[in-house]
Structure 1
Amino acid sequence: MFDLDGVLVDSEPVWEEVRRAFVADHGGTWQPDTQSRLMGMSTPEWAAYLHELGVRMAPDDIARGVVEQMAARYRDEVPLMPGAVEAVRRLSEQITLGLASSSPRRLIDVVLDAAELKGCFAATVSTEEVPRGKPAPDGYLEAARRMEVDPRGCVAVEDSSNGLRSAHAAGMRVIAVPHPHYPPAPDALALAWRVVPDLGALTVESLG
């Protein structure tokens, strides 16, 4: 099971830049812990949170505006993580892959289409499609349900604190690939079954 943001796509800097500017442009105040709190939230959750920061718009309008800006950025260029395409294609040749992402469905599809990876995944889930975003396990559990597999037999690849907590709560073994600029909290990293430096270290053998 792959996460998307921070694992396959170096999107956290883009998300932060877009949402930080959106908050500032619409009367809100970005807090020191805002970015870390946002990582892993579903679209309704982070839109409601930005509204709480003082953005003078309804949460649905906040979500629509931010996602449109993100899609525009991705249309210019999808910032894939080094080795992302190679890792997904390498693993998909031998094992069944799923994806559980906090990104909206629209952005998941843009990324997978641009990278020509959509066919590598048996199931993809946006936390828009489940009751709760990460750190709740809902997204990972739904991906396993769609794939008709036991989540306890799955390995998840994650980078963020909330992502690690989510996959662990779903009963999956978790491989952490920490983002150099957005490292997970020590207590979240402690939940990882393994920690690897980059996607190049992911092999079928490393998942056993």
Structure 2
Amino acid sequence: MTTIEAVVFDLDGVIIDTEEVWEEVRRAYVAEHGREFLPDSQTRMMGMSTGEWSRHLSEDVGVPRRPEDVAADVLGRMAGRYREALPLIPGAVEAVRRLAARFPLALASSSARVLIDQVLETAGLRDAFRVTLSTEEVARGKPAPDVYLAAVDRLGLSPRVCAAVEDSSNGLRAAGAAGLAVVAVPHGVYPPAEDALALASLVVHDLSELTVEAVGKLR
């Protein structure tokens, strides 16, 4: 029988409630340049790497700035918002600490490295994770499996013995494609698509439900 030996967390939407902040900041930035989101821009960008979403805003939405400049502008604004107030999801720090006492943990996030480091430092969680990865550091962002495959590889394990904790459609698809056991924590404002949610072996609606016992039963 296979058992879970490690857990890989997403960041945005699982540990910090920032999807609305990302949307607000990027919409305002786009509007300042006389443009508007495309109908599917928000959904498409959830899970994209920094290079991918900045290219989308520059090339598809039409912001008259180079993708690297778009990224720098938006990340600077996001970092400022995090410095003002870190929107931790209730129970997130406790859930991470609870699982870290039993399993090696990794973080696989679509956020830029500068934001990952700032969040973990502010939340006091830097020591909880053995591995932290941004999709900036792999070839493709979510829903491609790259960041999950890299995370479990750095843990020295196979995907089969790892679990992922995710909220978004693209994140759930990435973890499922990588072969991890998937735990879904659906976001109330941005719920995952039904096909993505169907990939989850466990769905929790409150992080207090994310226990060592629940994770241990995934396989």
Match status 1:120 vs 2:128: yes
**Aligned counterpart in structure 2 of residue 48 of structure 1, from 21, 35, 55:** 55
Kindly tell me the number of residue pairs found equivalent between the two proteins.
208
Q: CA RMSD, aligned part only?
A: 0.7
Q: Aligned residue for 1:22?
A: 29
1:129 aligned residue (125, 137, 147)? 137
Q: Tell me, in whole angstroms, the C-alpha distance in 2 between the residues paired with 1:110 and 1:71.
A: 8
TM-score (norm 1): 0.99
Residues 36-115 of structure 1 mapped to structure 2, 5 A cutoff:
36-51=43-58, 52-115=60-123
SS at match of 2:53: helix
144-153 or 10-19, which deviates more:
144-153
Superposed CA deviations along residues 76-102 of structure 1, whole A, max 9, x for unmatched, are 111000100010011111111111000
C-alpha deviation, 1:32, in angstroms: 2.5
123, 136, 159: which one aligns with 2:167 = 159
Partner letter of residue 186 of structure 1? E
Following TM superposition, by how much is the alpha carbon of 1:31 offset from its aligned partner in structure 2, in angstroms? Answer: 2.1
Residue 169 (structure 1) aligns with: 177
- Following superposition, the deviation at residue 147 of structure 1 comes to 0.9
**Identity rate, percent:** 62
The 2-side partners of 1:93 and 1:186 are apart by 32
Cα deviation digits, residues 81-130 of structure 1 (max 9, x gap): 01000100111111111110000000000100000001000100000000
| 1:143 paired to 2:121 | no
1:26 alignment partner AA: H
1:165-204 alignment runs, 5 A limit: 165-204=173-212
Indicate the structure whose relative CO is greater, using CA pairs within 8 Å and at least 6 residues apart.
Answer: 2
Distance 2:42 2:175 in 1: 20
The aligned counterpart of 2:3 is: none
> What one-letter code is carried by the residue in structure 1 that aligns with 2:109?
S
Following the alignment from structure 1 to structure 2, what is the Cα–Cα distance between the partners of residues 144 and 173?
12
Contact 1:27 1:56 in 2 (8 A): no
- Under a length normalisation based on structure 2, what TM-score does the superposition of the two structures give? 0.94
Aligned partner of 2:26: which letter? R
Question: Runs of 4+ in structure 1 displaced over 3 angstroms?
Answer: none
